Amino acid sequence: MTRSLLLGLIGEGISASRTPRMHEDEGAAHDLTTIYRTIDIGEESLASVPLNELLASAVRLGFDGLNITHPFKQQVIELLDEVDLVARRIGSVNTVVIDEAGRTTGHNTDATGFARGFEAGLGGAARNRVVQIGAGGAGRAVAFALSELGVGELTIADISAERAQDLAAEIGDHVRAISTSDLEPAITSADGVVNATPVGMAAFPGTPFDTSLLDTQTWVADVVYFPLETQLLAEAKAKGCRTLDGSGMAVNQAIDAFELFSGRRADP
Ligand code: NAD
């Protein structure tokens, strides 16, 4: 049985990430010596190292697994030996398990993480009509999760119309793409709205839509988790809407990744 874990996170601008701490604490709770390293391509020494070399080095050094974040979640797919069906459908990988022979398998725990965060924080919320803004890496996982959660009609808007259209077409007939300029009627008739854009982070201040459109019965979820209370959630709360911040997705994606790495289930 595994007694130690060597894990890492590959991405850009991840020095403040809480992921290493979450995994190391979880490892300790399971009596596993867990070392979790950040491999930040924003650092000068790594800036010119291509992803395939970073991955090969991790395999050579005996890493048991990696989390993958922006900007590599899509790019990593073609470098892996295997990619599970969910990650393949979503088109993005955030967790790579490396077996003893050095074979790499990609998974996506953002979708399951969002779904479980949603059930925990907004369980029972109406979901006949849901609007999702943002069809990037997180948005792709969220859209698949919302479909699994039984959303009747999902409307996706993105400033890249093409990205929204491609995602809607991939998921199914219950999903449509609209232009961000057509959000008003969609939001006023929605049961819930999900922000899957970076708007609300310090670098992207503001809200992704005009919150005066929100009815008090409309729930609002945000994937942004830094800060946890985005301007969108603060304004929605002030109106009396039920809200869900990005922490449930962040914690649950880590729990699922830890289980893939270690075979042990973490407590939520
Ligand atoms: P991304 O760049 O891949 O995608 C963002 C998408 O939003 C793009 O398609 C972009 O065109 C669109 N967009 C940006 N501004 C918009 C606007 N005003 N209106 C409509 N569309 C807009 O980024 P990402 O990796 O999907 O990350 C998005 C956010 O999700 C980030 O804040 C990230 O930190 C967060 N995230 C959270 C979790 C979690 O566990 N809670 C997991 C992954 C990502």
Q: Is the CB of 192 under 6 A from ligand 1?
A: no
Quick one: pLDDT band at residue 102, thresholds 50, 70, 90?
Answer: very high
Q: What's the pLDDT score for residue 45?
A: 86
Domains of the chain: 4-108 (3.40.50.10860), 111-249 (3.40.50.720)
Q: Is 245 in the pocket of ligand 1 (CB under 6 A)?
A: no
Rounded mean pLDDT, 154-174? 97
Strand boundaries in the chain, DSSP class E:
4-11, 33-40, 65-68, 82-83, 95-98, 104-107, 129-133, 153-157, 175-178, 192-195, 219-222, 243-244
ipTM exceeding the 0.85 mark: yes
Catalytic residue among 17, 26, 73, 98: 73
Beta bridge partners of 172: none
Contacts of residue 172, Cβ cutoff 8 Å, sequence gap at least 6: 147
| DSSP conformation letters of 180-192 | GGGHHHHHHT-SE
In the annotation, is 239 catalytic? Answer: no
Q: Residue 191 carries which DSSP code?
A: S
The residue whose two tokens read 């029972």 is 124
